[in-house]
Amino acid sequence: MELFDLTIHELHAKLKTKEISSVEATKACLQRIEATDERVNAFITVTADSALQAAAAADSRIARGEMDLLTGIPLALKDIFLTKGIRTTCASKILADFTPPYDATSWGRLQQRGAVLLGKLNQDEFAMGSSCESSAFGATRNPWNLECIPGGSSGGSAAAIAAQQAIATLGTDTGGSIRQPASHCGCVGLKPTYGRVSRYGVIAYASSLDQVGPMTRDVRDAAIMLGAIAGHDPLDSTSVDCAVPDYTAGLQGDLKGVKIGLPKEYYIDGLDPDVKSAMDRAIATYRALGAEFVDISLPNTDYAVACYYLIATAEASSNLARYDGVRFGHRAADAKSLAEMYRQTRAEGFGTEVKRRIMIGTYALSSGYYDAYYIKAQKVRTLIMQDFLKAFESVDVILTPVAPTPAFKVGEKTADPLQMYLSDIFTIPVNLAGTCAMSIPAGSSAAGLPIGLQLIGKPFGEAEIIRAAYAFEQATEWHRQKAQL
Protein backbone atom coordinates (compact mmCIF):
# COMPACT_ATOMS: atom_id res chain seq x y z
CA MET A 1 0.00 0.00 0.00
CA GLU A 2 1.28 3.43 -1.00
CA LEU A 3 1.33 6.40 1.36
CA PHE A 4 -0.98 8.38 -0.91
CA ASP A 5 -3.54 5.59 -0.86
CA LEU A 6 -4.15 5.48 2.88
CA THR A 7 -7.27 6.58 4.70
CA ILE A 8 -7.14 9.35 7.28
CA HIS A 9 -7.29 6.88 10.17
CA GLU A 10 -4.63 4.63 8.66
CA LEU A 11 -2.27 7.52 8.00
CA HIS A 12 -3.00 8.93 11.44
CA ALA A 13 -1.91 5.64 13.03
CA LYS A 14 1.38 5.74 11.10
CA LEU A 15 1.99 9.40 11.95
CA LYS A 16 1.26 8.71 15.59
CA THR A 17 3.81 5.90 15.84
CA LYS A 18 6.17 8.10 13.82
CA GLU A 19 6.49 5.27 11.32
CA ILE A 20 6.24 8.02 8.73
CA SER A 21 6.13 11.79 8.81
CA SER A 22 3.60 14.19 7.42
CA VAL A 23 6.30 15.56 5.12
CA GLU A 24 6.78 12.08 3.66
CA ALA A 25 3.06 11.55 3.17
CA THR A 26 2.66 15.02 1.69
CA LYS A 27 5.56 14.47 -0.70
CA ALA A 28 4.05 11.16 -1.78
CA CYS A 29 0.78 12.88 -2.60
CA LEU A 30 2.51 15.74 -4.42
CA GLN A 31 4.48 13.24 -6.51
CA ARG A 32 1.34 11.32 -7.28
CA ILE A 33 -0.37 14.55 -8.39
CA GLU A 34 2.65 15.32 -10.53
CA ALA A 35 2.50 11.86 -12.08
CA THR A 36 -1.23 11.67 -12.73
CA ASP A 37 -2.84 15.06 -12.93
CA GLU A 38 -1.94 15.79 -16.50
CA ARG A 39 -4.39 13.01 -17.33
CA VAL A 40 -6.99 13.60 -14.61
CA ASN A 41 -6.92 17.40 -14.26
CA ALA A 42 -8.33 17.26 -10.75
CA PHE A 43 -6.33 20.25 -9.54
CA ILE A 44 -6.63 23.89 -10.57
CA THR A 45 -3.87 24.97 -8.21
CA VAL A 46 -1.27 22.81 -6.46
CA THR A 47 0.27 24.46 -3.39
CA ALA A 48 3.37 22.29 -3.09
CA ASP A 49 5.55 24.77 -1.16
CA SER A 50 3.01 25.77 1.44
CA ALA A 51 1.91 22.11 1.74
CA LEU A 52 5.43 21.05 2.67
CA GLN A 53 5.73 23.90 5.16
CA ALA A 54 2.42 22.93 6.73
CA ALA A 55 3.51 19.28 6.81
CA ALA A 56 6.75 20.23 8.59
CA ALA A 57 4.75 22.28 11.09
CA ALA A 58 2.45 19.29 11.60
CA ASP A 59 5.43 17.05 12.21
CA SER A 60 6.74 19.30 14.95
CA ARG A 61 3.27 19.42 16.43
CA ILE A 62 3.22 15.63 16.41
CA ALA A 63 6.67 15.60 17.99
CA ARG A 64 5.32 17.84 20.76
CA GLY A 65 2.53 15.35 21.31
CA GLU A 66 -0.18 17.83 20.31
CA MET A 67 -1.77 15.55 17.82
CA ASP A 68 -5.25 15.48 16.43
CA LEU A 69 -6.80 12.94 14.06
CA LEU A 70 -6.24 15.38 11.20
CA THR A 71 -2.79 16.63 12.10
CA GLY A 72 -0.44 16.14 9.19
CA ILE A 73 -3.10 14.67 6.86
CA PRO A 74 -2.71 15.93 3.24
CA LEU A 75 -6.10 17.19 2.04
CA ALA A 76 -7.37 19.16 -0.91
CA LEU A 77 -10.31 21.55 -1.29
CA LYS A 78 -12.76 22.24 -4.04
CA ASP A 79 -11.80 25.61 -5.47
CA ILE A 80 -15.01 27.08 -4.08
CA PHE A 81 -13.51 27.37 -0.57
CA LEU A 82 -11.75 30.64 0.13
CA THR A 83 -8.15 30.12 1.16
CA LYS A 84 -6.28 33.13 2.47
CA GLY A 85 -3.42 34.07 0.19
CA ILE A 86 -4.11 31.16 -2.18
CA ARG A 87 -5.85 31.79 -5.49
CA THR A 88 -9.51 30.77 -5.40
CA THR A 89 -11.18 30.64 -8.80
CA CYS A 90 -14.46 28.71 -8.44
CA ALA A 91 -13.34 27.35 -11.84
CA SER A 92 -14.37 30.62 -13.46
CA LYS A 93 -12.47 33.00 -15.67
CA ILE A 94 -14.06 35.84 -13.74
CA LEU A 95 -12.12 34.81 -10.61
CA ALA A 96 -9.06 33.43 -12.42
CA ASP A 97 -6.76 35.83 -10.56
CA PHE A 98 -8.66 36.21 -7.31
CA THR A 99 -6.65 35.71 -4.13
CA PRO A 100 -8.91 35.97 -1.08
CA PRO A 101 -7.92 37.80 2.10
CA TYR A 102 -9.60 35.29 4.41
CA ASP A 103 -10.24 31.57 4.97
CA ALA A 104 -13.53 29.71 4.77
CA THR A 105 -14.63 28.61 8.27
CA SER A 106 -14.60 24.91 7.32
CA TRP A 107 -11.05 25.10 5.99
CA GLY A 108 -10.04 27.20 9.01
CA ARG A 109 -11.25 24.42 11.30
CA LEU A 110 -9.28 21.77 9.44
CA GLN A 111 -6.22 24.00 9.38
CA GLN A 112 -6.45 24.55 13.11
CA ARG A 113 -6.24 20.80 13.60
CA GLY A 114 -3.05 20.71 11.57
CA ALA A 115 -4.36 19.43 8.24
CA VAL A 116 -2.12 20.02 5.21
CA LEU A 117 -3.51 21.67 2.06
CA LEU A 118 -2.23 20.11 -1.19
CA GLY A 119 -4.16 22.46 -3.45
CA LYS A 120 -7.45 23.55 -4.94
CA LEU A 121 -9.64 21.20 -6.93
CA ASN A 122 -11.46 21.50 -10.18
CA GLN A 123 -15.23 21.72 -10.35
CA ASP A 124 -18.00 22.92 -12.58
CA GLU A 125 -17.87 26.70 -12.87
CA PHE A 126 -19.54 28.19 -9.77
CA ALA A 127 -20.62 24.61 -8.91
CA MET A 128 -23.12 24.67 -11.75
CA GLY A 129 -23.01 21.31 -13.45
CA SER A 130 -23.04 17.55 -12.99
CA SER A 131 -19.97 16.58 -14.97
CA CYS A 132 -17.10 18.90 -14.11
CA GLU A 133 -17.02 19.92 -17.77
CA SER A 134 -18.06 23.55 -17.31
CA SER A 135 -14.79 24.53 -15.62
CA ALA A 136 -12.86 27.37 -17.22
CA PHE A 137 -9.76 25.27 -16.47
CA GLY A 138 -10.76 22.29 -18.60
CA ALA A 139 -12.77 19.18 -17.75
CA THR A 140 -11.68 16.77 -15.04
CA ARG A 141 -11.51 13.12 -16.14
CA ASN A 142 -12.75 10.09 -14.25
CA PRO A 143 -9.71 8.11 -12.99
CA TRP A 144 -11.64 4.85 -13.58
CA ASN A 145 -11.98 5.68 -17.26
CA LEU A 146 -10.42 8.82 -18.59
CA GLU A 147 -13.04 9.09 -21.32
CA CYS A 148 -15.72 9.51 -18.68
CA ILE A 149 -16.75 12.44 -16.58
CA PRO A 150 -16.05 12.23 -12.83
CA GLY A 151 -19.45 13.75 -12.00
CA GLY A 152 -19.99 17.20 -10.67
CA SER A 153 -19.88 19.74 -9.55
CA SER A 154 -17.29 18.51 -7.00
CA GLY A 155 -15.67 16.39 -9.73
CA GLY A 156 -12.11 17.32 -8.80
CA SER A 157 -12.77 16.46 -5.16
CA ALA A 158 -13.92 12.95 -6.11
CA ALA A 159 -11.32 12.38 -8.83
CA ALA A 160 -8.45 13.39 -6.53
CA ILE A 161 -9.44 10.63 -4.11
CA ALA A 162 -9.98 8.04 -6.82
CA ALA A 163 -6.67 9.01 -8.45
CA GLN A 164 -5.00 8.66 -5.03
CA GLN A 165 -3.80 12.24 -5.08
CA ALA A 166 -5.23 13.34 -1.74
CA ILE A 167 -6.22 11.45 1.40
CA ALA A 168 -9.55 13.27 1.67
CA THR A 169 -11.20 16.36 0.22
CA LEU A 170 -14.00 18.81 0.83
CA GLY A 171 -16.75 19.42 -1.66
CA THR A 172 -20.02 21.28 -1.69
CA ASP A 173 -23.43 19.91 -2.54
CA THR A 174 -26.28 22.07 -3.83
CA GLY A 175 -28.21 19.47 -5.82
CA GLY A 176 -26.00 16.39 -5.56
CA SER A 177 -22.57 17.88 -6.19
CA ILE A 178 -20.87 15.74 -3.52
CA ARG A 179 -22.90 12.53 -3.79
CA GLN A 180 -23.06 12.15 -7.57
CA PRO A 181 -19.27 12.50 -8.20
CA ALA A 182 -18.59 10.29 -5.16
CA SER A 183 -20.80 7.65 -6.76
CA HIS A 184 -19.12 8.02 -10.15
CA CYS A 185 -15.60 7.87 -8.69
CA GLY A 186 -16.13 5.16 -6.10
CA CYS A 187 -15.61 7.20 -2.96
CA VAL A 188 -17.66 8.22 0.06
CA GLY A 189 -19.43 11.57 -0.13
CA LEU A 190 -21.49 13.07 2.67
CA LYS A 191 -23.89 15.98 2.32
CA PRO A 192 -24.75 17.13 5.83
CA THR A 193 -28.05 18.68 6.89
CA TYR A 194 -28.42 22.32 5.81
CA GLY A 195 -27.01 24.39 8.68
CA ARG A 196 -24.76 21.61 10.02
CA VAL A 197 -21.59 23.09 8.48
CA SER A 198 -20.81 26.80 8.07
CA ARG A 199 -21.04 28.28 4.59
CA TYR A 200 -18.87 31.26 5.52
CA GLY A 201 -16.10 31.68 3.00
CA VAL A 202 -17.65 29.23 0.55
CA ILE A 203 -18.49 30.93 -2.74
CA ALA A 204 -22.26 30.94 -2.92
CA TYR A 205 -24.17 29.28 -5.74
CA ALA A 206 -27.64 28.78 -4.22
CA SER A 207 -27.53 29.91 -0.60
CA SER A 208 -30.56 28.02 0.69
CA LEU A 209 -29.27 24.73 -0.77
CA ASP A 210 -25.45 24.89 -0.60
CA GLN A 211 -23.85 22.70 2.01
CA VAL A 212 -20.22 21.72 2.67
CA GLY A 213 -19.27 18.11 3.13
CA PRO A 214 -16.40 15.60 3.12
CA MET A 215 -15.36 13.21 0.34
CA THR A 216 -13.28 10.31 1.58
CA ARG A 217 -12.04 6.76 0.99
CA ASP A 218 -14.20 5.20 3.66
CA VAL A 219 -17.05 5.90 6.06
CA ARG A 220 -14.89 6.34 9.14
CA ASP A 221 -12.96 9.10 7.38
CA ALA A 222 -16.21 10.85 6.49
CA ALA A 223 -17.22 10.69 10.17
CA ILE A 224 -13.85 12.14 11.20
CA MET A 225 -14.03 14.97 8.66
CA LEU A 226 -17.63 15.85 9.45
CA GLY A 227 -16.84 16.01 13.17
CA ALA A 228 -14.05 18.47 12.40
CA ILE A 229 -16.03 20.89 10.25
CA ALA A 230 -19.53 20.71 11.77
CA GLY A 231 -20.92 23.12 14.33
CA HIS A 232 -22.31 26.58 14.69
CA ASP A 233 -20.40 29.49 13.20
CA PRO A 234 -21.28 32.98 14.42
CA LEU A 235 -20.37 34.24 10.94
CA ASP A 236 -23.11 32.19 9.25
CA SER A 237 -26.63 33.00 10.45
CA THR A 238 -27.97 29.85 8.81
CA SER A 239 -25.58 27.53 10.63
CA VAL A 240 -27.46 25.80 13.40
CA ASP A 241 -26.42 25.89 17.03
CA CYS A 242 -26.90 22.25 17.98
CA ALA A 243 -24.39 19.89 19.55
CA VAL A 244 -22.00 17.97 17.29
CA PRO A 245 -21.89 14.29 18.29
CA ASP A 246 -18.77 12.14 17.96
CA TYR A 247 -19.66 10.61 14.63
CA THR A 248 -16.98 7.91 14.94
CA ALA A 249 -18.34 6.70 18.27
CA GLY A 250 -21.54 5.19 16.83
CA LEU A 251 -19.97 3.39 13.89
CA GLN A 252 -20.13 -0.07 15.36
CA GLY A 253 -23.81 -0.31 16.18
CA ASP A 254 -25.72 -3.11 14.45
CA LEU A 255 -28.70 -2.63 12.15
CA LYS A 256 -31.14 -5.02 13.80
CA GLY A 257 -34.60 -3.50 13.56
CA VAL A 258 -33.44 -0.48 11.65
CA LYS A 259 -36.20 0.47 9.20
CA ILE A 260 -35.04 1.36 5.72
CA GLY A 261 -37.46 3.05 3.35
CA LEU A 262 -37.51 2.33 -0.38
CA PRO A 263 -39.32 5.19 -2.17
CA LYS A 264 -41.14 3.81 -5.18
CA GLU A 265 -40.53 7.03 -7.12
CA TYR A 266 -36.79 6.28 -7.13
CA TYR A 267 -36.98 2.73 -8.46
CA ILE A 268 -38.18 3.62 -11.90
CA ASP A 269 -38.25 1.67 -15.14
CA GLY A 270 -35.63 3.78 -16.84
CA LEU A 271 -33.02 2.97 -14.22
CA ASP A 272 -29.74 1.71 -15.69
CA PRO A 273 -29.63 -2.12 -15.30
CA ASP A 274 -26.21 -2.04 -13.61
CA VAL A 275 -27.50 0.54 -11.13
CA LYS A 276 -30.63 -1.54 -10.58
CA SER A 277 -28.71 -4.73 -9.86
CA ALA A 278 -26.35 -2.84 -7.52
CA MET A 279 -29.40 -1.63 -5.62
CA ASP A 280 -30.89 -5.11 -5.47
CA ARG A 281 -27.66 -6.50 -4.07
CA ALA A 282 -27.45 -3.64 -1.56
CA ILE A 283 -30.98 -4.38 -0.35
CA ALA A 284 -30.05 -8.05 0.09
CA THR A 285 -26.93 -7.08 2.02
CA TYR A 286 -28.89 -4.80 4.34
CA ARG A 287 -31.52 -7.47 4.87
CA ALA A 288 -28.80 -9.89 5.85
CA LEU A 289 -27.54 -7.30 8.33
CA GLY A 290 -30.92 -7.31 10.05
CA ALA A 291 -32.50 -4.20 8.57
CA GLU A 292 -36.21 -4.15 7.76
CA PHE A 293 -37.48 -2.71 4.52
CA VAL A 294 -40.54 -0.52 4.15
CA ASP A 295 -42.04 0.59 0.86
CA ILE A 296 -42.63 4.31 1.01
CA SER A 297 -43.68 7.10 -1.29
CA LEU A 298 -42.20 10.54 -1.79
CA PRO A 299 -45.04 11.71 -4.05
CA ASN A 300 -43.63 15.08 -5.09
CA THR A 301 -40.33 13.70 -6.37
CA ASP A 302 -41.33 14.39 -9.96
CA TYR A 303 -41.38 18.13 -9.36
CA ALA A 304 -38.00 18.29 -7.64
CA VAL A 305 -35.80 18.99 -10.66
CA ALA A 306 -38.05 21.79 -11.95
CA CYS A 307 -38.38 23.25 -8.45
CA TYR A 308 -34.61 23.14 -7.98
CA TYR A 309 -33.87 24.85 -11.27
CA LEU A 310 -36.10 27.77 -10.26
CA ILE A 311 -34.90 28.24 -6.69
CA ALA A 312 -31.22 27.56 -7.31
CA THR A 313 -31.06 29.77 -10.36
CA ALA A 314 -33.04 32.58 -8.71
CA GLU A 315 -30.58 32.66 -5.82
CA ALA A 316 -27.64 32.30 -8.17
CA SER A 317 -28.74 35.24 -10.30
CA SER A 318 -28.48 37.42 -7.21
CA ASN A 319 -25.41 35.75 -5.68
CA LEU A 320 -23.39 36.21 -8.86
CA ALA A 321 -24.25 39.91 -9.22
CA ARG A 322 -21.15 40.83 -7.22
CA TYR A 323 -18.89 39.71 -10.06
CA ASP A 324 -19.15 43.06 -11.78
CA GLY A 325 -15.53 43.99 -12.42
CA VAL A 326 -15.62 46.84 -9.92
CA ARG A 327 -13.75 45.59 -6.87
CA PHE A 328 -12.09 42.26 -7.74
CA GLY A 329 -11.86 39.62 -10.41
CA HIS A 330 -11.85 40.01 -14.14
CA ARG A 331 -12.68 43.43 -15.65
CA ALA A 332 -13.18 43.95 -19.37
CA ALA A 333 -10.59 46.22 -20.91
CA ASP A 334 -11.51 49.31 -22.91
CA ALA A 335 -15.19 49.57 -21.96
CA LYS A 336 -16.52 53.02 -22.81
CA SER A 337 -19.20 53.29 -20.17
CA LEU A 338 -20.21 51.73 -16.88
CA ALA A 339 -22.98 49.68 -18.51
CA GLU A 340 -20.57 48.44 -21.16
CA MET A 341 -17.99 47.54 -18.53
CA TYR A 342 -20.59 45.46 -16.67
CA ARG A 343 -21.81 43.79 -19.84
CA GLN A 344 -18.42 42.94 -21.25
CA THR A 345 -16.92 41.86 -17.95
CA ARG A 346 -19.70 39.39 -17.35
CA ALA A 347 -19.90 38.30 -20.98
CA GLU A 348 -16.18 37.50 -20.96
CA GLY A 349 -15.94 36.20 -17.41
CA PHE A 350 -18.81 33.72 -17.17
CA GLY A 351 -19.17 30.48 -19.11
CA THR A 352 -22.27 29.30 -20.97
CA GLU A 353 -23.87 27.26 -18.18
CA VAL A 354 -23.42 30.05 -15.63
CA LYS A 355 -24.96 32.57 -18.02
CA ARG A 356 -27.83 30.21 -18.70
CA ARG A 357 -28.60 29.85 -15.00
CA ILE A 358 -28.29 33.59 -14.32
CA MET A 359 -30.80 34.21 -17.08
CA ILE A 360 -33.25 31.56 -15.87
CA GLY A 361 -33.01 32.87 -12.31
CA THR A 362 -33.39 36.51 -13.32
CA TYR A 363 -36.47 35.57 -15.28
CA ALA A 364 -37.95 33.60 -12.38
CA LEU A 365 -37.61 36.59 -10.06
CA SER A 366 -38.87 39.19 -12.53
CA SER A 367 -41.91 41.27 -11.85
CA GLY A 368 -44.95 39.45 -13.23
CA TYR A 369 -43.28 36.02 -13.09
CA TYR A 370 -42.20 35.90 -9.46
CA ASP A 371 -45.44 34.35 -8.17
CA ALA A 372 -45.76 31.87 -11.02
CA TYR A 373 -42.18 30.64 -10.73
CA TYR A 374 -40.29 31.52 -7.57
CA ILE A 375 -43.22 31.44 -5.15
CA LYS A 376 -44.70 28.34 -6.75
CA ALA A 377 -41.32 26.62 -6.51
CA GLN A 378 -41.09 27.53 -2.81
CA LYS A 379 -44.47 25.94 -2.22
CA VAL A 380 -43.38 22.79 -4.02
CA ARG A 381 -40.23 22.82 -1.93
CA THR A 382 -42.36 22.79 1.22
CA LEU A 383 -44.31 19.80 -0.12
CA ILE A 384 -41.10 17.93 -0.87
CA MET A 385 -39.85 18.67 2.64
CA GLN A 386 -43.12 17.35 4.06
CA ASP A 387 -42.79 14.19 1.93
CA PHE A 388 -39.52 13.41 3.69
CA LEU A 389 -40.74 14.30 7.17
CA LYS A 390 -43.76 12.09 6.68
CA ALA A 391 -41.60 9.23 5.40
CA PHE A 392 -39.33 9.53 8.41
CA GLU A 393 -42.30 8.93 10.69
CA SER A 394 -42.15 5.29 9.60
CA VAL A 395 -38.50 4.72 8.62
CA ASP A 396 -35.06 5.53 10.02
CA VAL A 397 -33.15 5.78 6.76
CA ILE A 398 -34.08 5.95 3.09
CA LEU A 399 -32.09 3.92 0.54
CA THR A 400 -31.97 5.03 -3.11
CA PRO A 401 -29.63 5.09 -6.09
CA VAL A 402 -27.39 8.18 -6.26
CA ALA A 403 -27.59 8.65 -10.02
CA PRO A 404 -29.71 6.96 -12.70
CA THR A 405 -26.58 5.82 -14.58
CA PRO A 406 -22.86 5.27 -13.96
CA ALA A 407 -20.49 7.99 -15.21
CA PHE A 408 -21.21 9.00 -18.79
CA LYS A 409 -18.73 9.98 -21.48
CA VAL A 410 -17.12 13.40 -21.64
CA GLY A 411 -19.13 15.54 -24.06
CA GLU A 412 -22.10 13.16 -24.06
CA LYS A 413 -24.57 15.54 -22.43
CA THR A 414 -23.03 18.97 -22.88
CA ALA A 415 -25.26 19.76 -25.85
CA ASP A 416 -28.44 18.91 -23.94
CA PRO A 417 -28.67 20.75 -20.64
CA LEU A 418 -31.97 19.10 -19.71
CA GLN A 419 -30.43 15.60 -19.98
CA MET A 420 -27.56 16.87 -17.83
CA TYR A 421 -29.99 18.28 -15.25
CA LEU A 422 -31.75 14.91 -14.98
CA SER A 423 -28.58 13.21 -13.76
CA ASP A 424 -29.30 14.81 -10.36
CA ILE A 425 -32.86 13.57 -10.16
CA PHE A 426 -32.23 11.39 -7.06
CA THR A 427 -30.02 13.83 -5.20
CA ILE A 428 -31.83 17.14 -5.69
CA PRO A 429 -34.85 16.34 -3.45
CA VAL A 430 -32.54 15.97 -0.44
CA ASN A 431 -31.18 19.52 -0.89
CA LEU A 432 -34.69 20.89 -1.27
CA ALA A 433 -35.71 19.09 1.94
CA GLY A 434 -32.55 20.38 3.67
CA THR A 435 -31.77 17.01 5.17
CA CYS A 436 -28.62 14.84 5.08
CA ALA A 437 -27.53 12.03 2.77
CA MET A 438 -24.43 10.17 1.73
CA SER A 439 -23.13 8.17 -1.18
CA ILE A 440 -21.03 5.05 -0.62
CA PRO A 441 -19.51 2.58 -3.10
CA ALA A 442 -21.97 -0.26 -3.75
CA GLY A 443 -21.20 -1.82 -7.07
CA SER A 444 -19.57 -1.72 -10.43
CA SER A 445 -20.97 -1.46 -13.93
CA ALA A 446 -20.28 -3.93 -16.71
CA ALA A 447 -17.79 -1.37 -18.02
CA GLY A 448 -16.03 -1.31 -14.67
CA LEU A 449 -17.29 2.04 -13.45
CA PRO A 450 -18.21 2.49 -9.80
CA ILE A 451 -21.83 2.73 -8.69
CA GLY A 452 -22.86 4.29 -5.39
CA LEU A 453 -25.91 3.96 -3.19
CA GLN A 454 -27.54 6.85 -1.37
CA LEU A 455 -28.57 6.78 2.28
CA ILE A 456 -30.87 9.65 3.21
CA GLY A 457 -31.27 10.55 6.88
CA LYS A 458 -33.48 12.70 9.05
CA PRO A 459 -32.48 16.32 9.58
CA PHE A 460 -29.35 16.25 11.77
CA GLY A 461 -29.46 12.46 11.58
CA GLU A 462 -25.92 12.18 10.16
CA ALA A 463 -24.90 9.69 12.87
CA GLU A 464 -27.66 7.31 11.76
CA ILE A 465 -26.73 7.25 8.07
CA ILE A 466 -23.05 7.03 8.94
CA ARG A 467 -23.78 3.93 11.03
CA ALA A 468 -25.84 2.35 8.22
CA ALA A 469 -23.11 3.18 5.72
CA TYR A 470 -20.40 1.74 7.94
CA ALA A 471 -22.27 -1.54 8.41
CA PHE A 472 -22.61 -1.90 4.64
CA GLU A 473 -18.95 -1.06 4.11
CA GLN A 474 -17.91 -3.69 6.67
CA ALA A 475 -20.02 -6.28 4.85
CA THR A 476 -18.76 -5.48 1.33
CA GLU A 477 -15.52 -4.90 -0.54
CA TRP A 478 -16.58 -2.18 -2.99
CA HIS A 479 -14.69 0.58 -1.15
CA ARG A 480 -11.47 -1.36 -1.53
CA GLN A 481 -11.55 -1.29 -5.33
CA LYS A 482 -9.03 1.04 -6.90
CA ALA A 483 -8.95 2.93 -10.15
CA GLN A 484 -5.98 1.87 -12.23
CA LEU A 485 -4.19 4.88 -13.65
**Can 153 be counted among the known catalytic residues?**
yes
Residue 318 interacting with another protein (CB under 8 A): yes
Residue 374 interacting with another protein (CB under 8 A): yes
Smallest gap from Cβ 346 to another protein, in A, equals 10
Burial class (CB in 10 A: 0-12, 13-18, 19+), 310: buried
Residue among 17 and 367 whose Cβ is closer to another protein: 367
**Can 106 be counted among the known catalytic residues?**
no
In sequence order, which residues have a C-beta less than 8 Å from that of residue 104 and are 6 or more positions away?
81, 82, 83, 198, 200, 201, 202
The alpha carbons of the chain give a radius of gyration, in whole angstroms, of 21
Q: Which 3-state string (H, E, C) describes 110-148?
A: HHHCCCEEEEEECCCHHHCCCCCCCCCCCCCCECCECCE
Which span (66-74, 322-330, 393-401, 473-481) binds another protein, by CB under 8 A?
322-330
Q: Contact with another protein (CB under 8 A): which of 317, 400, 435, 439?
A: 317
* CA within 13 Å, CB half, 317: 17
Return the beta strands (E) in 333-483 as ranges. Answer: 397-401, 436-444, 450-457
Catalytic residue among 106, 131, 153, 183: 153
Residue 365 interacting with another protein (CB under 8 A): yes
**d(C-alpha 2, C-alpha 284), whole Å:** 33
Residue among 343 and 356 whose Cβ is closer to another protein: 343
Residue 382 interacting with another protein (CB under 8 A): no
Residue among 82 and 110 whose Cβ is closer to another protein: 82
- How many other β-carbons are positioned within 10 Å of the β-carbon of residue 329? 20
Catalytic residue among 135, 177, 183, 439: 177
Q: Contact with another protein (CB under 8 A): which of 133, 315, 387, 396?
A: 315
Residue 90 interacting with another protein (CB under 8 A): yes
Dihedral, CA atoms, 124, 419, 217, 25, nearest 10 degrees? -30
**Can 237 be counted among the known catalytic residues?**
no
Smallest gap from Cβ 359 to another protein, in A, equals 13
Smallest gap from Cβ 461 to another protein, in A, equals 21
Q: Contact with another protein (CB under 8 A): which of 370, 382, 481, 485?
A: 370
**d(C-alpha 121, C-alpha 485), whole Å:** 18
Q: How far is CA 277 from the centre of its chain?
A: 25
Q: Contact with another protein (CB under 8 A): which of 10, 24, 272, 324?
A: 324
**Interactions with another protein, residue window 221-260 (CB under 8 A):** 234-238
Residue 367 interacting with another protein (CB under 8 A): yes
**Interactions with another protein, residue window 8-47 (CB under 8 A):** none
**Interactions with another protein, residue window 143-202 (CB under 8 A):** 199-202
Whole-angstrom CA distances from 465 to 7, 293, 333, 402, 426 are 20, 15, 51, 14, 17
Residue among 238 and 277 whose Cβ is closer to another protein: 238
Residue 102 interacting with another protein (CB under 8 A): yes
Residue among 303 and 370 whose Cβ is closer to another protein: 370
Q: Contact with another protein (CB under 8 A): which of 249, 268, 284, 338?
A: 338
Residue among 187 and 206 whose Cβ is closer to another protein: 206
**Which DSSP letter does residue 395 get?**
-
Residues in the chain: 485
# of chain residues touching another protein (CB under 8 A): 43
Catalytic residue among 27, 78, 93, 458: 78
Q: Contact with another protein (CB under 8 A): which of 53, 277, 285, 362?
A: 362
For 127-164, b where at least 16 C-beta lie within 10 A, e where not — what string?
bbbbbbbbbbbebbbbbbbeebbbbbbbbbbbbbbbbb
Residue 82 interacting with another protein (CB under 8 A): yes
In sequence order, which residues have a C-beta less than 8 Å from that of residue 459 and are 6 or more positions away?
193, 434, 435, 436
Residue among 37 and 79 whose Cβ is closer to another protein: 79
Going across the sheet that includes 43-46, the strands are 43-46, 116-121, 74-78, 168-173, 211-216, 188-191, 436-444, 450-457, 397-401, 259-263, 292-296
Q: Is the peptide bond before 153 cis (omega within 30 degrees of 0)?
A: yes
Question: Which residues contact another protein by CB under 8 A?
Answer: 81-82, 88, 90, 95, 98, 100-102, 104, 199-204, 206-208, 234-238, 314-315, 317-318, 320-322, 324, 326-328, 338, 342, 362, 365-367, 370, 374
Positions annotated as catalytic residues are 78, 153, 177
